[in-house]
């Protein structure tokens, strides 16, 4: 769950129209429920023209889609290769799960040193996943049988949502949030702490692979300018401002901070697929078209934004 998230119902963002941009989505290659080609098709059908797939520690989805080209990618959809690194923020107090999530937008999917960093991250994910399966078994909520029925081979980077779905299928939890609250979330009986790189290492690795490092879904950013400035000094280039579930006041405060620190404003649905269809998630998202153009400029690929229509006026 994103840190510092407020219930946006009191002051929601009302999209003036369908967003043409979504810069934060997940697929079955990490902890999402839609296969990469299905997500791409559903995003295009919803009106998205620029899509970033940002699986956790994996570039498998963009690699597959870009290799297949027109066979799997809708003609009018530009795909931005991306990742999300759940960095372990040791020594930084008051963070959800002790983590800061860093998106790498526009990373080179064929960068070998970056892939080596991600491979180590994935090994740690696999070890954590296995340790949590053992804890679930020893605390009377086994999931081995349900996991066998899921297509684990499709997953390149394992995560807790997959365990949570298996817990729901096994009848040990009523929903994915319930599974997190009682079984696999922080300090719950089957919880195993994450091991992995820290925020400055994540930012450096993303930049070395040609990407824009973006601080994801951190609603507390305006209240913690010192922390954000330290990340900017480490090479942070963007701030996720137009996050689907942020309320209006949060979006405004983040936009102001991004402008002040000269960070690219980004945004997205963070779609995983547990609670709604892609179309439903997309309907709640508002990202001004100018955001897509400035992100594409920031990563040195302005032509990727060619399919976006001009900013609405008036």
Min dist CB 211 to Zn ion, Å, is 15
| CB-based contacts of 222-231 (< 8 A; 24+ apart in sequence) | 222/253, 222/254, 222/256, 222/257, 225/257, 227/92, 228/257, 228/261, 229/261, 231/100, 231/199, 231/200, 231/203
**Sites for Zn ion among residues 190-229 (CB under 5 A):** none
Across the chain, the runs of DSSP E, i.e. the strands, are 21-25, 50-56, 78-88, 99-105, 212-215, 238-243, 264-268
Q: Which stretch binds Zn ion (CB under 5 A): 151-159, 204-212, 266-274, 287-295?
A: 266-274
Is residue 57 a contact residue for Zn ion (CB under 5 A)? no
Residue number with CB closer to Zn ion (95 or 143): 95
Min dist CB 137 to Zn ion, Å, is 28
Residue number with CB closer to Zn ion (64 or 99): 99
In whole angstroms, give the CA distance from residue 221 to residue 264. Answer: 14
Question: β-strands 238-243, 212-215: how paired?
Answer: parallel
Min dist CB 126 to Zn ion, Å, is 19
**Sites for Zn ion among residues 105-144 (CB under 5 A):** none
Is residue 270 a contact residue for Zn ion (CB under 5 A)? yes
Cβ–Cβ under 8 Å, residues 54 and 31: no
Min dist CB 288 to Zn ion, Å, is 21
Return the residue of 49, 101, 160, 207 that touches Zn ion, per CB under 5 A: 101
Q: Which stretch binds Zn ion (CB under 5 A): 100-108, 119-127, 235-243, 286-294?
A: 100-108
């Amino acid at each position: 769950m994103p840190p510092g998230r407020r219930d946006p119902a009191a002051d929601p963002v009302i999209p003036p129209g369908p967003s043409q941009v979504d810069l934060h989505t997940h697929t079955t290659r990490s902890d999402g429920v839609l296969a990469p080609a299905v997500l791409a098709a559903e995003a295009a059908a919803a009106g998205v023209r620029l899509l970033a797939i940002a699986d956790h520690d994996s570039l498998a989805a963009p690699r597959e889609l870009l290799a297949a080209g027109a066979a799997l990618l809708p003609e009018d959809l530009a795909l931005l290769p991306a990742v999300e690194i759940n960095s372990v923020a040791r020594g930084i107090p008051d963070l959800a799960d002790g983590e800061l999530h860093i998106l790498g937008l526009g990373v080179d999917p064929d960068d070998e040193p970056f892939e080596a960093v991600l491979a180590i991250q994935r090994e740690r994910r696999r070890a954590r996943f296995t340790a949590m399966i053992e804890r679930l078994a020893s605390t009377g909520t086994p999931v081995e049988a349900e996991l066998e029925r899921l297509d684990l081979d499709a997953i390149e980077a394992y995560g807790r949502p997959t365990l949570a779905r298996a817990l729901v299928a096994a009848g040990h939890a009523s929903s994915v949030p319930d599974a997190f609250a009682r079984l696999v979330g922080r300090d719950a009986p089957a919880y195993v702490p994450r091991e992995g790189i820290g925020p400055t290492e994540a930012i450096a690795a993303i930049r070395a692979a040609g990407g824009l490092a973006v601080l994801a879904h951190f609603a507390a950013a305006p209240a913690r300018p010192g922390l954000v400035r330290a990340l900017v000094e480490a090479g942070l280039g963007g701030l996720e401002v137009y996050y689907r579930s942020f309320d209006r006041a949060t979006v405004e405060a983040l936009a102001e901070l991004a402008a002040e620190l000269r960070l690219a404003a980004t945004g997205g649905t963070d779609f995983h697929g547990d609670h709604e269809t892609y179309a439903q998630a997309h309907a709640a998202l508002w990202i001004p078209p100018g955001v897509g153009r400035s992100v594409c400029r920031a990563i040195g690929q302005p032509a990727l934004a060619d399919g976006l229509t001009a900013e609405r006026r008036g």
